[in-house]
Amino acid sequence: MQGIMLLCLLLAIGLYIAAVSKNIIKKLIGLNVFVDGIHLIVVSIGYAKNSIPPIFFNGSGTLTTFVAKAVDPLPQAMILTSIVIDTATTALALILIYALKWKRGA
């Protein structure tokens, strides 16, 4: 329960920074904090207590028991893809902010 509260606090902090700040770099940082909170929530949804990573099948036991004990890898794969897209989007936004600042001469 405390973990969910911390994740909601992370979402709230990121959204607050993005909404209140007047500096566009700080807004971008706030949005990144917000998106990282969403990433953590989705990964925590895929968590199962007393489970094993889906890539460590050592051959002992049957495949059926391994599949029953393994964590679902789909949320992790989706978040990994989202992190790559988020990084590219942030890099593009920083380039556009720099170009805007250079063009205005500020």
Taking all residues of the chain, what is their mean pLDDT, rounded to a whole number?
Answer: 86
Q: Comparing 3 with 25, which gets the higher pLDDT?
A: 25
User: For the domain that residue 86 is a member of, what is the CATH number?
Assistant: 1.10.287
Angle, helix 24-45 to helix 74-104, in steps of 10 degrees: 180
In 3D space, the residue among 59, 5, 62, 8 whose CA is nearest the CA of residue 38 turns out to be: 8
Quote the domain boundaries for residue 10. Answer: 2-104
Q: What is the pLDDT of residues 35-70, one digit of tens each?
A: 999 999 988 887 777 777 777 666 666 767 777 777
Q: For the CA atoms of 9, 14, 15, 17, what is the dihedral angle to 10 degrees?
A: 120
CA 17/CA 25 separation, integer angstroms: 10
Q: How many domains does the chain have?
A: 1
For 73-78, what is the mean pLDDT?
86
pTM, to two decimals: 0.80
